[in-house]
Amino acid sequence: MPDRPRRFTPPGVLAALILAAGGALAADEHADDDWRERADAMVRTQIEARGVRDPRVLAAFRDVPRQRFVPPEYRARAFEDGPLPIGHGQTISQPYVVASMTEQLALEPGDRVLEIGTGSGYQAAILARLAARVYTIEIIPALAARAKETLAEVGAANVEVFTGDGYRGLPDLAPFDAILVTAAPSEVPQPLVDQLAMGGRLVAPVGNFDQELRLLERTPHGVSTKILYPVRFVPFVRGGEQDVPRPTPGRPADP
């Protein structure tokens, strides 16, 4: 997952619900009582204030319990304006970065989305609020397993987690209406571009030290590319024998 961008160039209910007996809501033992207030403040001061306007995206960030996707020692800082460590040299992204990238996908409720780099699972949980189906690939098995567990706990039943190298995507499940890459390759992987549906959008950071966020869109005339703004992401990692993703145990069936 990405680190905080070096500068901003602002672009122009998944709820944490645990059903108790009788349908009542039970409190999350790890969440503070005021997490919704903190999430709302995060949206107003960090995301909306920097130019993210899509009401569905803003609602998702108010409804997804971000603190559930960070290690316990960082939960008090879950809604701060910056990334946080999640182990294995990875981070949960800065809220604005996640929101900006999500808005660029222009998701519709019936869309199928591929995410490369599950990390904590937070981005997938946001996508799950906006699309019909989310497929996400994580190369680090421990992170994939933890994300799968957390996503199930918060009720993101339309997310399917794969463990493996995301460079090749999921050709057997293609095409996708949107593809989101959360680590920086030197160039956008061609297999991912090939798996983009007509009219679909792909958002990815590209570069080594000097990186830029790119938006690719498949049109009847070919694939167009737009440079959005400078960013700093962790490098895209490939995994040899893990090139072909495999589903983690207990993967949900397609609807």
At position 140, the amino acid (one-letter code) is I
d(CA 249, CA 31): 27
Q: Is the peptide bond before 235 cis (omega within 30 degrees of 0)?
A: no
Q: Which of 93, 120, 186, 224 is flagged as catalytic?
A: 93
C-alpha distances out from residue 246 to 169, 175, 249, 252, Å: 11, 18, 9, 13
DSSP label at residue 2: E
DSSP per position, 133-200? EEEEEESSHHHHHHHHHHHHHTT-TTEEEEES-GGG--GGG--EEEEEE-SB-SS--HHHHHTEEEEE
Tokens of 112: 């199928």
d(CA 49, CA 58): 11
Helical ranges in the chain per DSSP H: 35-42, 55-63, 95-105, 122-130, 141-153, 190-194
The values of phi and psi at residue 63, to 5°, are -100, -20
Is there a catalytic annotation at residue 93? yes
Q: Hey, which residues are catalytic here?
A: 93
